[in-house]
Amino acid sequence: MHELRLFFAHDLHVYESSHGVTALYHPDEDAVIHYRKDRYVLVCGRGDRPGLDQFAVGTTEAKGLLGTWADAEDGTLSGNPVAHGSVDSTIGLHARLEPGRPSPLHAWFCTGTSMGGVVALQERIRTGDPAVLLDQADQIYRVWANAGHLDFGGLSPLVVDTFKRSLLVLRTQIDNRAAILASCDSDIYAFNHDSYAYAWPRDGVFVTIGLDAAGYADVARRFFRFCERAIAEGSYLFHKYHPDGILRSTWHPWIDLEGALQYPIQEDETALVLHALWNTTTGCATSSSPSRCTNRSWC
User: Which domains occur in the chain, in start order?
Assistant: 2-137 (2.70.98.10), 154-298 (no CATH)
Kindly report the backbone phi and psi dihedral angles of residue 57, in degrees, each rounded to the nearest multiple of 5, phi listed first: -120, 150
The pLDDT assigned to 281 comes to 55
Q: In what order do the strands lie in the sheet with 106-112?
A: 82-85, 21-26, 31-36, 39-46, 106-112
Contacts of 150 (CB under 8 A, 6+ apart): 214, 215
Nearest to 202 by CA among 185, 228, 182: 182
Side-chain-side CA neighbours of residue 1 (13 Å):
8
pLDDT digits (tens, 9 = 90+) for 11-54: 999 988 889 999 999 999 999 999 999 999 999 999 888 899 99
Burial class (CB in 10 A: 0-12, 13-18, 19+), 48: middle
The pLDDT assigned to 1 comes to 79
Q: Are 105 and 93 in contact (CB under 8 A)?
A: yes
DSSP-assigned letters across all residues of 117-162: HHHHHHHHHHTS-HHHHHHHHHHHHHHHHTTT----TT--HHHHHH
Nearest to 91 by CA among 41, 40, 37, 130: 41
The pLDDT assigned to 291 comes to 39
Burial class (CB in 10 A: 0-12, 13-18, 19+), 57: buried
Where helices occur in the chain by DSSP H, the ranges are 115-126, 130-145, 157-172, 189-192, 201-213, 217-230, 267-281, 283-286
Over the chain (299 residues), the average pLDDT of each successive run of 10 is 93 90 96 97 92 96 89 96 97 93 92 97 90 93 89 93 94 90 79 84 93 89 93 88 91 93 92 89 40 41
CA distance 179 to 198: 8
Nearest to 240 by CA among 169, 165, 172, 188: 188
**Rounded to a whole number, what is the largest CA-CA distance in the chain?**
75
Nearest to 29 by CA among 41, 37, 14: 41
CA distance 266 to 256: 14
Count of C-beta atoms within a 10 Å radius of residue 195:
17
For the chain, helix (H) and strand (E) counts, in that order, are 8, 8
